[in-house]
Amino acid sequence: MYRMNKKDLLLTLPILSFLWFTATIVIGGLFYPDYNHFSQFISELGATGSPYGNYVNYLGFLPTELFILAFVLICSSVIPRTKANFIGLFFIGLYGVTLIVAAFFPCDYECRPIEPSISHNIHMISAFPGYLSGIISIIVISSASSGWARSQMFTVFSYILGILCIYAFLNLDPKSEFVGIIQRSLDLMIYLWFLYFAYHLRRFYSET
C-alpha cells in the first residue's frame, strides 16, 4: 500500500489547503443570496446571520488552515535549521492559527457593523494580523533561501510577490467596491508563494 512521504506532503498539503479554501468560497457564494465576490469580504460567507455560516467556518475555513499547520510541521523537519527559516515558519504557522481563531469568532453580518460585537472585534484582531504574518513569512524565508533554494529566481519572485501582497494588504478598505477582489488577490498571492516555496523545498529535500 502506497504511503505519502515528506516529499509528497510538502506539495500535497498546500495544494489541498488552496483547493479546500477555493471550494469553500465558491460553494459558500452560491448559497449566499446576491453575494458579490468583487465587493464583499470572504469572511461575510461565515459571518453571524449568514445563510450557512457555521458550515463555512467549521467545514471550510477550519480544515483549510489545519492543512497549513500540517504543512508547517512537515517543512520544519525538512528545511535547514536556521533562525531565519524557523522565524519564517513561525509566521506561516501564525497565519494559520490566527485565521482559525477568526473562523471560531465570525464577524458580524456583512462584516461592517456600526457597533461591533466582541466576536467581530476578535475576528478583526485575528484576521488582519494573520494576513500580515503570511506576508512576513514570505520576506523572512526568502531572505535566507540562498542555502537551499538553489535558485536566485526564488528570492526575486518572493520579494516581488511580497511587495504586491503588501500593496494589496494596505488596500483592504471596507468602503471599496473592489475589496472582495483585492482580498482574493492577496489570498491567491500568498498561496502561490506557499506552493512555490513547497516546490523548491521539495526539490532541496530530494537532493539531500
Domain boundaries, given as residue ranges, for the chain: 6-203
The pLDDT of 166-170, averaged and rounded, is 97
**Could you tell me which of 139, 178, 145 has the C-alpha nearest to residue 162?**
139
**What is the reported pLDDT for 4?**
66
3-state helix, strand, coil in the chain (%, to 5): 75, 0, 25
How far is Cα 106 from Cα 60, in angstroms, rounded to an integer?
A: 13
Q: Does the pLDDT of residue 24 top 90, yes or no?
A: yes
**What is the reported pLDDT for 149?**
81
**What is the reported pLDDT for 161?**
95
Q: Does the pLDDT of residue 1 top 50, yes or no?
A: no
**What is the reported pLDDT for 180?**
97
**What is the reported pLDDT for 2?**
44
Q: Global pTM? A: 0.94
Q: Does the pLDDT of residue 6 top 90, yes or no?
A: no
How far is Cα 157 from Cα 141, in angstroms, rounded to an integer?
A: 12
Output the average pLDDT for the chain.
94
